[in-house]
Amino acid sequence: MNVFTQTRSNTDNQIKKIDFQEAILNPSAPLGGLYTLENIPKINFEEFTDLQYNELTEAIFSELGFSLDRDVLKQALHSYENFDNPKNPAPLVQIKENLYSQELYHGPTRAFKDMALQPFGVIFSNLAKKKNKKYLILAATSGDTGPATLQSFANQDNICVVCLYPKGGTSDVQELQMITQNAKNLKIFGINGNFDDAQSTLKNLLSDEDFKTKLEKKSIYLSAANSVNFGRIAFQIIYHIWGYLNLVKNTQIKFGEEIYIIIPSGNFGNALGAFYAKKMGLPIKKIIISSNPNNILTEFIQTGIYNIKDKTLIKSYSPAMDILKSSNVERVLFALFGSKRTYELMNNLEQYFSYELLPDELEKLQTYFSATFCSDRECLEYIKKSFDMGYLLDPHTATTLKGVDEFCKNTPTVICSTAEWTKFAPNVIEAIFSKRLNDKEAITFMCEQKQLKIPDSIKNLFSKPIIHSQILQQNNIKSEILKWLDK
């Protein structure tokens, strides 16, 4: 069994260690940190080349020593039956020689968060029932986590969910996917603020003893569905391995040949999954991080300086990446530098809004990562360029093509395609046809131009009634959640 440990420690505290199930149910670690793998084992991935996706997940979970009943995991993996191709939920599509797109958006909400959140919801609900406890799950979203979380937990026993999203900070489709939810155990609040404000509120509530005491008086326990929860990250490791093994299986590379993986990054969970896969021995030459105009991660990986003190969040064409404080970088810091150094760095970030790696630490980080970023103008140009090559992609995935141009000349490269174009249709239409249309008009226009079929889950959104319309200030969120739970 693999042990989970806290990312932060100082000389005064005793290190807390827990198992996988506990890390799922109670994701908030001491000193404001996260729970993470204590050890990352080396794995011989060549043995897994011929496994089906679900079999691969079971094999990797076993290698990682996750303490989970096999029947529960099998039930969770049945979630992929709701994907376009249950046997291949994360397919590879060749764009041109040596360039492949791993499409991670073939689930019910048409974004990569489904890959982890659909099975995660089943596991969490099973654990809650097994303990005979009721849980309040908090989710903060920049656009994709929210819909996937709500879809996964709708009408689940022993679970209620509160989702926070920045009003005006998501696409119309993403917002509709949330505010039209009609399950009685779900509540969605828009907030006056950005994603960092929503995520900060979530983390504060997770460590708010008064809030937890008031919940416990109602016999409710607190947890989270953001990627602060390692239950999410566990499933995000798998598809990177699946992509590599499919290149081998399809004779596009030989096993052992290194590839680049390029990931559009916001909160860094997707990139963390690739980092763990590389640490375990998957032949990844480099993980390339693509950012949008909020290029904090690019600056960090290039210079070793994580600085948000003089930064203001920029609303971009790739809103799910409009993030300044990326939670999962902390788990990378722990894996590379240990818990005491992570505590020191994260303490600096919280107190002074910045930290800086030492030269040898930066060198170590750069053995795993390179980075670039895309302006909004470049983003639109890459959407058009890709469309002209015969491949339609969304604005987040478009940022990865900047990384292809900068880093990937003759090396096989997989870009992570994180959302279907339908979720950001106005920007796609603007890029390709220089037209400005709203979401519904843009989707209809593109489908008429290219004879494309709109998934029913997207098409039906525009006729659903709006259920959740409340917009809150940050200081009202706690009281409004408690008020909703009393109803």
Range(s) within the chain of domains with CATH label 3.40.50.1100: 45-56+69-111+231-420, 133-226+466-486
Phi-psi region of 333 (alpha: psi -120 to 50; beta: other; left: phi over 0): alpha
Provide the CA 174 distance to its chain's centre, in angstroms.
15
Distance between the two ends of the chain, CA-based, in angstroms? Answer: 41
Please, which residues have CB within 8 angstroms of residue 312's CB and are 6 or more apart in sequence? none
**Residue-level pLDDT at 382:** 98
**CB neighbour burial string for 241-263, b if at least 16 within 10 angstroms, e if fewer:** bbbbbbbbeeebbeeeeebbbbb
What CATH architecture is 133-226+466-486? 3-Layer(aba) Sandwich (3.40)
- Return the SS3 of 33: coil
CATH 3.20.20.70 is held by the domain 45-56+69-111+231-420: no
Please, which residues have CB within 8 angstroms of residue 426's CB and are 6 or more apart in sequence? 171, 172, 436, 437, 438, 439, 442
Please, which residues have CB within 8 angstroms of residue 284's CB and are 6 or more apart in sequence? 240, 244, 258, 259, 260, 261, 274, 277, 278
**Residue-level pLDDT at 14:** 78
Mean pLDDT by 10 residues, the chain (487 residues): 90 84 92 94 96 98 93 97 97 97 97 96 94 94 93 94 95 96 97 92 91 95 91 97 98 97 95 98 98 97 96 93 94 97 97 98 98 98 97 98 94 97 97 96 93 91 96 95 93
Order of strands, edge to edge, in the sheet holding 220-224? 220-224, 134-140, 159-166, 186-191, 471-472
Q: Is the Cβ–Cβ distance between 191 and 472 less than 8 Å?
A: yes
**Secondary structure of 261-312 in the HEC alphabet?**
EEEECCCCHHHHHHHHHHHCCCCEEEEEEEECCCCHHHHHHHHCEEECCCCC
Rounded Cα distance between 144 and 419, Å, is: 8
